[in-house]
Amino acid sequence: MLILSVVAVSIVVLFLLGIHVAVALGIISFALMYFFSDRPLWEMTALIAWNVGTTNVLVAVPMFIFMGELLLRGGLTERLYRCFSGWFNWLPGGLLQSNIATCAAFASISGSTAATAATISRVAIPVFRARGYSEPLVVGSLAGGGTLGILIPPSIILIVYGVLAEESIGALYMAGVIPGLLLTVLFMAAIFLIVKFRPSLAPREEPISWREKLRLSVAIIPVAVLIFLVLGTIYMGIATPTEAASLGVVGAFVLALMAGKVNRKMLMETFLSTVNTTAMVMLVVSAAFMLTFMLAILGVPNAMATKIAQLGWSPLAIVGLLILFYLVLGTFMDAYSMIVTTVPVILPVVKFLGIDLIWFGILMTLLVEVALISPPHGLNLFILQNVRMQSAGHEEKSSITDLYLGVIPFVIAIFIMILLLVAFPGIATWLPTTMRQ
């Protein structure tokens, strides 16, 4: 346990110094391997990196990232936003409801919280400013809605967790569907209640005709096709997650081509962004596997599981303790850091307690969602603040305090979802059991 304490303190110190998560994990892994292992350092490093880089499941990571980048530049977002604005403008909150619906739809085809939050906010914020909506509630809804990008499949975070936990990516994807839809409803319900009691925060929108709604709904068809290509084929056992990702890339490229967005510059930006993001993810995962390897050699996970067993606590009590642990961790660590630094240590304990690893993966994802919008270091908060600062004529209202206030209802909604998941595990575990293998 002394080694684990030293590792934990080292990780925190290196993160506070601003060192990248992969570099921090690599430094710690090298130090442990140098002082506590007689195995050849560089040979083991190369072998672990090779094994990670040639894992079939991880091939899906660059494919899903590529798909998201194509959609980001393919002009689909604006059409989706107009469609949901037309359908949800009669509800209290009007366009705020369309923020959540558009984020959920884009999340189902992008797999990235950063892409979801940044893309939708660039489309939405100028529209809201022209209509006099409450700025904190607007940016709060966009930050909260953006978190759906890592829960609703295809999620890159769920792939990383699945690889670390050695669990089926397809099962994890199916497990995220119902919680993702429920959380979307909770977000929309939060907006409904807030605006119902304080109508001044969101003016009523003019209703539009059914004919116009049906015309706008054409934008849903490409999304539905992509969802089938990715999730439908996985659920029916037609394709593996990697194969489904390839189908999704083809579909996204065809949509961008039909929209007339494909050109040399667009493709260059798409390829470069895909390579940059993929390299970051793979480097982090490789470093995490190195740390996992060293901790396993030193017997840390088994020692921790034994220690937990000696406490005599119930699985529910341990889950409650882990929830508190991740909530604190999320105030100063990003999503990938939380996953890769804790999963190797926590999973043996979770297995020992007999907790379903698929269910636990969804629970961890929800806790990471809280971290994404928790002050002071929530990633989505910085993304939204950056978009606001770039918006012309808004220099006088650039305080990030608005964001801190605006995300509170959505943090509460995620907490409610966590409680529902703990009380009713079948929310996450039922759908994977119906999959065709």
Supply 359's token pair.
Answer: 């269910």
Flag whether pLDDT at 22 surpasses 60. yes
Give residue-wise pLDDT tens across range 377-395. Answer: 666 777 777 777 666 454 4
Most confident of 11-20, 51-60, 66-75, 127-136: 66-75
Supply 429's token pair.
Answer: 């575990």
CA angle 97, 183, 345 (to 5 degrees): 140
DSSP string, 1-46: -HHHHHHHHHHHHHHHTT--HHHHHHHHHHHHHHHH--S-HHHHHH
- The span from the CA of 177 to the CA of 128, in Å, is 29
Residue 73 sits at φ, ψ, to 5 deg, of -105, 5
Tell me what the pLDDT averaged over the chain comes to: 79
pLDDT in the model for residue 181: 92
Count of the separate structural domains present in the chain = 1
As a whole number of Å, the end-to-end CA separation of the chain is: 40
Q: E-strand spans in 180-271?
A: none
CB 161 within 8 A of CB 340: no
pLDDT in the model for residue 381: 74
Give residue-wise pLDDT tens across range 66-120. Answer: 887 787 777 777 777 778 877 877 777 777 888 888 888 888 777 667 667 777 7
Residue 238: inside a domain: yes
pLDDT in the model for residue 158: 87
DSSP string, 179-202: HHHHHHHHHHHHHHHHHHH-GGGS
Residue 14: inside a domain: no
CB 110 within 8 A of CB 96: no
Residue 268: inside a domain: yes
Flag whether pLDDT at 216 surpasses 90. no
Nearest residue to 336 via CA among 156, 108, 72: 156
Residue 372: inside a domain: yes
pLDDT in the model for residue 197: 84
Flag whether pLDDT at 16 surpasses 70. no
3-class DSSP state of 374 = coil
Question: What is the CA 343 to chain-centroid distance, rounded?
Answer: 16
Flag whether pLDDT at 426 surpasses 80. yes
pLDDT in the model for residue 371: 79
Nearest residue to 191 via CA among 108, 147, 109, 133: 133
Confidence tier at 135 by pLDDT (50, 70, 90): confident
> Helix 21-36 vs helix 335-352: angle between axes, to the nearest 10 degrees?
50
DSSP string, 273-286: HHHHHHHHHHHHHH
pLDDT in the model for residue 399: 66
Separation in Å, CA 175 to CA 31, 80, 116, 148, 432: 38, 25, 20, 14, 6
Give residue-wise pLDDT tens across range 228-253. Answer: 888 888 888 888 888 888 888 888 88
Supply 154's token pair.
Answer: 């295809």
Separation in Å, CA 22 to CA 11, 15, 76, 193, 335: 11, 10, 33, 42, 13
Supply 303's token pair.
Answer: 């020692």
CB 404 within 8 A of CB 141: no
Confidence tier at 4 by pLDDT (50, 70, 90): low
Flag whether pLDDT at 421 surpasses 90. yes
pLDDT in the model for residue 383: 72
Residue 233: inside a domain: yes
**Burial degree of 215 (CB within 10 A; 0-12, 13-18, 19+):** middle
CB 65 within 8 A of CB 112: yes
Range of the domain at 223: 55-274+297-433
Confidence tier at 222 by pLDDT (50, 70, 90): confident
Flag whether pLDDT at 321 surpasses 80. yes
DSSP string, 135-176: HHHHHHHHHHHHGGGGTSSS-HHHHHHHHHHT--HHHHHHHH
Give residue-wise pLDDT tens across range 336-363. Answer: 777 877 887 788 888 878 889 999 999 9
366 or 298: whose pLDDT is higher?
366
CB 394 within 8 A of CB 129: yes
Percentage of the chain with pLDDT > 70?
85
CB 284 within 8 A of CB 58: no
pLDDT in the model for residue 184: 92
Confidence tier at 373 by pLDDT (50, 70, 90): confident
50 or 408: whose pLDDT is higher?
408
CA dihedral 283, 286, 287, 290 (to 10 degrees): -170
Confidence tier at 18 by pLDDT (50, 70, 90): low
